[in-house]
């Protein structure tokens, strides 16, 4: 875990709420419709980018980042399988690809100075 974070429990709680929201929005019977071609693919990519980007700011060790990446890719696959079984949503390999692309983008973010954004806000909150 990032040793600099004073409010790591808060950041983790927010992260788990983000995961819960991804599950909720992915499995609800009435998905949000936007009149933009392939909007759902952008939404999938963005959602998993946010998840990966968020958690790699809390867990910055390379081994943990790898575990996060694998976990979020598996989460995306699981959600697609659950959608296929739901009877009201569709299983889609391209959604899995979009999810994995978001994970990759979040992982790349963890290799830039932006990986310290949460630390910056943590320090500001600490005063």
Residue 24 placed within a domain = no
Residue 123 placed within a domain = yes
Report whether pLDDT(1) > 80: no
pLDDT at 121: 94
Residue 52 placed within a domain = yes
Report whether pLDDT(60) > 70: yes
Number of domains in the chain: 1
pLDDT at 116: 92
| Domain around 100 | 44-127
Q: What is the arithmetic mean of pLDDT over 28-41?
A: 86
Beta-carbon contacts of 104 under 8 Å, excluding residues fewer than 6 positions away, are: 69
pLDDT at 59: 95
Q: What is the arithmetic mean of pLDDT over 85-97?
A: 94
Report whether pLDDT(2) > 70: no
Residue 18 placed within a domain = no
- pTM greater than the 0.75 cutoff: yes
Report whether pLDDT(11) > 90: yes
Residue 25 neighbours by CB distance under 10 Å: 13
Q: How far apart are CA 53 and CA 66, in angstroms?
A: 13
Residue 20 placed within a domain = no
When pLDDT is cut at 50, 70 and 90, the band that residue 63 belongs to is very high
Q: How far apart are CA 30 and CA 13, in angstroms?
A: 26
Report whether pLDDT(33) > 90: no
Report whether pLDDT(105) > 80: yes
pLDDT at 31: 80
Rama region for 38: left / alpha / beta (φ>0; ψ in -120 to 50; rest): left
Report whether pLDDT(32) > 90: no
Residue 115 placed within a domain = yes
Residue 6 placed within a domain = no
- 102 and 48 in contact (C-beta within 8 Å)? yes
């Amino acid at each position: 875990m990032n040793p600099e974070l004073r409010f790591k429990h808060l950041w983790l709680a927010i992260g788990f709420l983000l995961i819960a929201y991804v599950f909720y929005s992915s499995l609800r019977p009435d998905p949000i419709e936007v009149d933009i071609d392939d909007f759902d693919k952008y939404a999938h990519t963005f959602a998993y980018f946010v998840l990966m980007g968020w958690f790699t700011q809390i867990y910055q060790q390379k081994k943990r980042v790898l575990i996060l990446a694998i976990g979020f890719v598996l989460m995306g696959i699981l959600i697609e399988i659950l959608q296929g079984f739901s009877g009201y949503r569709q299983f889609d390999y391209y959604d899995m690809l979009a999810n994995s692309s978001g994970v990759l983008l979040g992982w790349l973010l963890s290799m830039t100075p932006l990986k310290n954004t949460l630390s910056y806000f943590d320090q500001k909150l600490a005063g």
